[in-house]
Amino acid sequence: MSFSAVDVIRAKRDGAVLSDAQIDWVIDAYTRGAVADEQMSALAMAIFFNGMTAAETARWTQAMISSGERLSLHVDRPTVDKHSTGGVGDKITLPLAPLVAACGAAVPQLSGRGLGHTGGTLDKLESIPGWRAALSTSEIMAQLSDVGAVVCAATEGLAPADRKLYALRDVTGTVEAIPLIASSIMSKKIAEGAESLVLDVKVGSGAFMKDLASARALAEALVAIGVEHGVKISALLTDMSVPLGRAVGNAVEVAESVDVLRGGGPADVVELTVALAAEMLSLAGISADPAAVLASGEAYEVWARMIRAQGGDPEAPLPVGSHRHVVEAPTSGVLSSLDAYAVGVAAWRLGAGRARKEDPVQAGAGVLCLAKPGDEVVAGQPLLELYTDTPDAVPAALSTLEGSFTIGGEVSTGPLVIDTIRG
């Protein structure tokens, strides 16, 4: 059945519920190029303002899945994946995937690159000498069977409609539309083929969802799509008002992740890694204590095998930015706040992130948070260390950090895991 793109746009513009046939047609036609970018831009904006019902969002997701291939993960253990909506210092995939694999699950983690102030898992891992992100489907399957975990780029055949639509949303001011966010995430994750999925939905200044109501709405939309498609699914709402851990960047976050895998690391990174692992294992039907497995060193062994399987050297020295700049505490007292967004933008400006998807990143650029809210500091004590290979970027990073922290007053931190929404 064929429709007119203009009629579909008008229908959503006027608040109508799109039929399954209209959704199937418009996604297929846009993927083929029969619907122009300007027409899909208009439809995306209409969705931004008028929203979609749960049924529309589920069908939109299915249409994007159907635009490409769907992986069949035939391995001899339960498959479970995790997706984060993105944050500052969010390196959790790095220790989490090998930890859950060490507990007995298979973890197919198809990840992305950073854009703007939020970091990308692939950018972090590419700071490891020799590591490669691009794997064929057969390589993904072989590594899942042998190692139990794989973190790599999505294959070109998965949800091509989403790849095309995401790029359009990014330049038309429609990224924040919850139905489009939810269908974008879930089309890729369902096409990936994992039996279970845990979502880490961030909320706070360093997240895309700044307030709890928006984050909860997104989490509920994601979970509803998963249930509709027969995926065992749950979502954790987690705080992103303060950077996660102490490292923000690429190689610096890998180093911190390795510390966690070796039994150390910041308490908040360990807490969230264990919480997400416990939820993943519960959905997968595996009885294991992720905290004990993490402390045992078994997860580090899986990490080393996972890195080697993708051509990397887990023992190689990691890059460090050639230029270092220290931000000192102006006064003494208790550090009461540290804004995640400002730290994320500073790391981005130092070279750790990109403004456009084509931009290169610096492996050694980033920010180390030497103090976190609740820590006692004295005047002149280093608070932040900035690393970059381009010293000219430091003034812009420092400008971003002005007013980003407070010394004195009430410590403004709450629980790391705010709530859990289960399917």
Per-residue pLDDT of 260-311, as tens digits, reads 999 999 999 999 999 999 999 999 999 999 999 999 999 999 999 999 999 9
Do residue 216 and residue 290 come from a single domain? yes
Note whether 85 and 21 are same-domain residues: no
Same domain, 27 and 96: no
Secondary structure letter of residue 297 according to DSSP: T
Same domain flag for 41 and 103: no
Contact 248, 369 (CB under 8 A): yes
Say whether 74 is catalytic.
Answer: no
Same domain, 142 and 280: yes
pLDDT band at 167 (very low <50, low <70, confident <90, very high): confident
Assess whether 126 and 46 both reside in one domain. Answer: no
- pLDDT > 80? residue 170: no
Distance CA 366, CA 369 (A): 10
pLDDT over 70 at 212, yes or no: yes
169 a catalytic residue: yes
- Residue 137 and residue 45 in one domain: no
Residue 222 and residue 199 in contact, taking contact as beta carbons nearer than 8 Å = yes
Number of domains in the chain: 3
Closest CA to 180 of 19, 36, 16, 40: 40
Spot the catalytic one: 162, 200, 239, 268.
Answer: 162
Statement to judge: residues 171 and 225 lie in one domain: yes
pLDDT score, position 116 = 67
pLDDT tens sequence across 27-56 = 999 999 999 999 999 999 999 999 999 999
Is position 184 annotated as part of the catalytic site?
Answer: yes
- Name the residue range of residue 262's domain: 80-315
Residue 293 lies in a domain: yes
* pLDDT score of 372 more than 70: yes
- State the pTM of this model: 0.93
The sign of the dihedral angle between the CA atoms of 204, 210, 215, 218 is negative
pLDDT digits (tens, 9 = 90+) for 150-161: 999 988 888 899
Strands (E), 146-277: 149-153, 196-203, 232-239, 247-249
pLDDT at residue 367 greater than cutoff 80: yes
* 412 is a domain residue: no
- Which of 184, 187, 205, 241 is the catalytic position? 184
| CA gap 10, 54 in Å, rounded | 20
The single residue of 59, 83, 216, 372 carrying the catalytic annotation is: 83
Contact 240, 202 (CB under 8 A): yes
In the annotation, is 202 catalytic?
no
